């Protein structure tokens, strides 16, 4: 932290005393953070929000009374709301949580490394930027449906932009999304993904669907044809049954 940068004021909101104590200890190990207070429920959190004016909330979701999602929605309507990092044991709330554009979504038990990374991200977003993100998230979700896919691992929750995904490939019991940042394992079936995103992705093989917008051509090899995609080294195989349709699609795109 620079000499002129003030500490990041943090309010912990969690109904479990042990969870609050764990986060408080971890904050002590993160440079530039100042614990302003703790709250065990939404009502207490709102009161302390007014008196402490924190820069950041570490917010649980499952709590008595208003849960963390409801509290976040209330806070997001306030002038200059604080950044929010959800800290929860439940991965199923990830997509509704991101409708209020938090700076992070961490799964318990949260490590100090995960918390430090999420806080670093929160520092990079000013309060006006967070307000713009909230507005964009609500608008895009209501206007066009799902634009992102949730992936959950022990590192936390990752949201993938569908427009950035080159292909989905089924391997064993999993589906892997290949995108500009690498590859991510998903807990969704290829059939479900094809049904939802069939206008943007085309089936090329029983184990692969590819993004139409990233197709650049076909490559013939000793084992048949493979589709070439921009921005990835993946070249999914094209089945003989589907080859004619893929060639027709390429002709239309030319």
Q: What is the 3-state secondary structure (H, E, C) of the chain?
A: CCCCCCCEEEEEECCCHHHHHHHHHHHHCCCCEEEEEEECCHHHHHHHHHHHCCCEEEECCCCCCCCHHHHHHHHHCCCCCCEEEEEECCHHHHHHHHCCCCCEEEECCCCHHHHHHHHHHHHHCCHHHHHHHHHHHHHHHHHHCCCEEEEEECCEEEEEEHHHEEEEEEECCEEEEEECCEEEEECCCHHHHHHHHCCCEEEEECCEEEEHHHEEEEEEECCEEEEEECCCCCCCECCHHHHHHHHHHHHHHC
**Structural tokens at position 254:** 């030319």
Q: What is the mean pLDDT of residues 17-39?
A: 95
Higher pLDDT residue, 26 or 93? 26
More confident residue, 10 or 104: 10
Find the mean pLDDT for residues 35-41. Answer: 95
Question: What pLDDT, on the 0 to 100 scale, is given for residue 214?
Answer: 93
User: Quick check: pTM over 0.75?
Assistant: no
pLDDT at 251: 86
Distance CA 138, CA 187 (A): 24
Residue 40 above 70 pLDDT?
yes
Look at residue 143 in the predicted model and tell me its pLDDT: 42
Q: pLDDT confidence of 155, banded at 50, 70, 90?
A: low
| Segment among 66-80, 147-161, 165-179, 235-249 with least mean pLDDT | 147-161
**Per-residue pLDDT tens over the stretch 119-130:** 887 776 544 444
Domains of the chain: 8-148 (3.40.50.2300), 161-253 (2.40.50.1020)
Mean residue pLDDT across the chain: 83
Rounded mean pLDDT, 144-155: 69
Residue 2 confidence class, pLDDT cut points 50, 70, 90 = very low
Please give the average per-residue pLDDT across 5-24, as a whole number.
91
Q: Is the pLDDT of residue 134 over 70?
A: no
């Amino acid at each position: 932290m620079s000499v002129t940068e003030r500490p990041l004021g943090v309010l912990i909101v969690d109904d479990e005393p042990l969870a609050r104590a764990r986060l408080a200890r971890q904050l002590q190990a993160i440079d530039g953070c100042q614990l302003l207070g703790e709250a065990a429920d939404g009502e207490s959190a709102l009161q302390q929000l007014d008196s402490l004016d924190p820069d950041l909330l570490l917010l649980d979701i499952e709590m008595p009374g208003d849960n963390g999602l409801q509290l976040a929605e209330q806070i997001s309507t306030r002038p200059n709301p604080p950044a929010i990092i959800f800290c929860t044991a439940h991965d199923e709330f990830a997509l509704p949580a991101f409708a209020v554009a938090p700076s992070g979504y961490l799964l318990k038990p949260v490590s100090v490394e995960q918390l430090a990374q999420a806080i670093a991200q929160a520092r990079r977003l000013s309060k006006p930027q967070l307000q713009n993100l909230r507005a964009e998230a609500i608008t895009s979700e209501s206007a066009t449906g799902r634009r992102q896919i949730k992936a959950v691992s022990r590192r936390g929750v990752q949201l993938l932009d569908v427009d950035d995904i080159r292909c989905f490939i089924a391997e064993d019991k999993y589906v892997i999304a290949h995108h500009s940042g690498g590859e991510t394992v998903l807990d969704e079936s290829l059939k479900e993904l094809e049904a939802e995103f069939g206008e943007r992705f085309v089936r090329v093989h029983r184990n692969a669907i590819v993004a139409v917008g990233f197709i650049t051509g076909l490559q013939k090899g000793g084992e048949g044809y493979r589709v070439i995609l921009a921005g990835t080294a993946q070249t999914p195989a094209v089945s003989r049954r589907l080859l004619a349709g893929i060639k027709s699609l390429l002709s239309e795109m030319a």
